[in-house]
Amino acid sequence: MKILLTGATGYIAQRLLPVLLENGHEVICCVRDKNRFNTKNYLTSNLSVIEADFLKAESLQQIPSDIDVAYYLIHSMSTQNADFNDMEAVCATNFKKRIEETNARQVIYLSGISNADELSKHLSSRKNVETVLSGSDFALTTLKAGIIVGSGSASFEIIRDLVEKLPFMITPRWLKTKCQPIAIRNVVEFLIAVIAKTETYNNSYDIGGPDVLSYKEMLLQFAQIRGLKRRIVIVPVMTPKISSYWLYFVTSTSYALAKNLVDSMKVEVICKPNDLARLLGIKLIDYGTAIQLAFDKIEQNQVLSSWKDAQTSDIFSKGFSRFIEVPVNGCFKDIRTVTVENSNTSLDKIWAIGGKTGWYYGNWLWEIRGLLDQIAGGVGMRRGRRSATEIFSGDALDFWRVLIANKEEKRLLLYAEMKLPGEAWLEFKIDENNCLTQTATFRPLGLFGRLYWYSVLPFHGLIFKGMINKIAEN
């Protein structure tokens, strides 16, 4: 079948795509910027990539008319835009109009469980998208999930941060809220199994694992699996705003996402009974096993996707290509060169930079800069990296975003997503003469931007010199 996959750089789509290709489908990945999608991961002629912005109806003409099935996996939960409900409605409307012009017989939509009387803004928006997509020439199959547990998922990483960082937790009352978590493997199985399954046409299903747990029980069970003793005290005095800041400072989530999560976590997300798993022959994975499977992937360095990679600054809404060309005029630069004895060894160090590996010199200074950024409302250093050895365009890397990661050209280009009075790039490149060039570029914004550059100049002189020398060492 010819399948359109929207949200192709997102967490779910990156897990779904390899399975679709393994099953012999021809897949058209729909992305806002091709520079964020690494086709080198998939050595197949059954994959193509098109650019489309679902907020702009005219761009959707890139979608081919001869598709059979389309996945709708677009959401705006982590955006800082307060009008994400309107944004999602516009995206869904534009998508629907274009798909109605194609040969598509089925649209598969992954939504959130929305059975409570009062819903959060996020869940209300998800429910509204289903309404927009319904009642069309194509058949709509809606799958509704709650907490998704898997390596790299937002839920898994937030729970992991809380359990592994805090032996004793004073927590808000929403930790008593019940939910029905589901393993990412099961989510992908459901998304695959409903393709062309006529029994699921124009139907909506809640999908969840076999366990109904409170968030407190999920944290304690996670701790037990990890062999950690944790104590949790729930207090009724934490306001939603305080709860959001609590999540923001303790975990690797952004404040915008933390706010939306807290809003949603006050709502019970328990499945209405259905026989979809039996109909599709899917064996549901319990919460404990889902945690174990996630850690197996982490330990094997096989995390296929991370929610952090999909969480991008609003500045990139204009496209990655605008930032790939590093500016020259009106910029401050710190350029350092050194000859390396073994270019492959140095390249491996560059490809492993950040995350648990660190920045090779003055890591405590990097951590302080990350903390200051976090206090200012930025991403800080908490995101780390998805893989310890592999890195691709679009990946999050501490408080940087990877723009170019080309091992053949021996070039890595990063763009700063921290709070800055300007824009910053960091580039590593090794030429054919084994000369490593490390370039930090800063384009200041106004007088404050210039004052900022001169204020950090002494630290740059220390950090950048130490970093390039450590990378050059065998």
Domain boundaries, the chain: 2-307, 312-472
Closest of 341, 322, 312, 331 to residue 417, by C-alpha: 312
Residue 169 has pLDDT above 80, yes or no: yes
Mean pLDDT of 301-324: 56
The whole-angstrom separation of Cα 243 and Cα 251 is: 12
Mean pLDDT of 83-90: 79
Q: Which two tokens stand for residue 212?
A: 């109904």
pLDDT, one tens digit per residue, over 170-203 is 877 778 889 999 999 999 999 999 999 999 999 9
Window from 250-259, 278-287, 415-424, 455-464 with minimum mean pLDDT = 250-259
Confidence (pLDDT) at 374: 80
pLDDT band for 430, please (50, 70, 90 cuts).
very high
pLDDT band for 322, please (50, 70, 90 cuts).
low
User: Are 161 and 252 a contacting pair, CB within 8 Å?
Assistant: yes
Confidence (pLDDT) at 349: 94
Phi and psi angles of residue 152, each rounded to the nearest 5 degrees, phi first: 90, -5
Confidence (pLDDT) at 24: 92
Confidence (pLDDT) at 198: 94
| E-state strands within 241-376 | 332-339
Confidence (pLDDT) at 278: 95
Which 8-state DSSP code applies to residue 10? S
Confirm or reject CATH 3.30.530.20 for domain 312-472, answering yes or no: yes
pLDDT, one tens digit per residue, over 367-410 is 888 888 888 877 788 778 878 888 888 888 888 988 888 888 99
The whole-angstrom separation of Cα 375 and Cα 122 is: 25
46 CB-near residues (< 8 Å, 6+ apart) = 21, 24, 25, 26, 27
The whole-angstrom separation of Cα 397 and Cα 251 is: 16
The H helix count followed by the E strand count for the chain is 15, 19
Confidence (pLDDT) at 465: 93
Residue 36 has pLDDT above 60, yes or no: yes
Residue 15 has pLDDT above 70, yes or no: yes
What fold characterizes domain 2-307? Rossmann fold (3.40.50)
Q: Specify the residue for token string 């997102």.
A: 10
Residue bearing the bigger pLDDT, 451 or 35: 451
Confidence (pLDDT) at 185: 93
Confidence (pLDDT) at 158: 81
The whole-angstrom separation of Cα 230 and Cα 398 is: 27
pTM surpassing 0.85?
Answer: no
Query: Edge to edge, what strands does the sheet with 396-397 contain?
Result: 332-339, 435-444, 422-430, 411-416, 400-406, 396-397
Q: Specify the residue for token string 């705006």.
A: 76
Residue 334 has pLDDT above 90, yes or no: yes
